[in-house]
Amino acid sequence: MTLGQAIGNNMNRKAKKKGAIAMTELIEAAKSGDASKLQTLLDSGADVNEKDPESLTPLTAAAEAGHLEIVQKLLAAGAEADGRDNDGWTALMGAAAGVGEALRMQHCLEVIEALLEAGADVNAKTDFGLTPLMAAAGKGHLAAAKKLLEVGADLKARDNNTWTAFIWASSEGHQEVANFLKEAREQG
């Protein structure tokens, strides 16, 4: 499995199409960043930790999209910071993978900080062994990789193919991130 496949399995869910898994209204509001709809649903008793059939949570949907306000509302309402989908993917992994646009990546860094403050596991692993640091490295997100290392991400962690974050960054052509990880490894 490539990083693109691992992340794609989690970030590219299709909704409300015939034969596709339908998202719940709360997940849809979280993913789209609709704070008003989300608050209305929470006020009417929606389960903040509800999951779709693949176990996607509203928190993970919001984190993947970089919606800080939504993430904060969900955490304040009791969302599990380390809720996992069927593959073990967490909101922190989604935020670390980010979306690549500068503005949204800044929001993803803020989301990372909010999730960490709420107790998200910086070294959580998917069933494939992917960690938040590997997700950031494989998508070329230097700032996210720096933040995760700063708070204790395991630089030596290996996935089920024995790849480290450094190998993910290198294999995906993200030389700046690979160089940073190499320097961090050498400093020890």
State the pLDDT at residue 11: 45
CATH of the domain at 139: 1.25.40.20
**pTM listed for this prediction:** 0.87
pLDDT band at 98 (very low <50, low <70, confident <90, very high): confident
Q: Give residue-wise pLDDT tens across range 21-60.
A: 456 899 999 999 999 999 999 999 999 999 998 899 999 9
Q: Give residue-wise pLDDT tens across range 135-165.
A: 999 999 999 999 999 999 999 999 999 999 9
Q: Using alpha carbons, select from 159, 27, 174 the residue that is nearest to residue 91.
A: 27
Cα 92 from Cα 108, distance rounded (Å): 9
Cα 28 from Cα 22, distance rounded (Å): 9
In the chain, the amino acid numbered 149 is L
Residue 103's domain comprises 3-187
Domain count, the chain: 1
Q: Is the pLDDT of residue 133 over 70?
A: yes
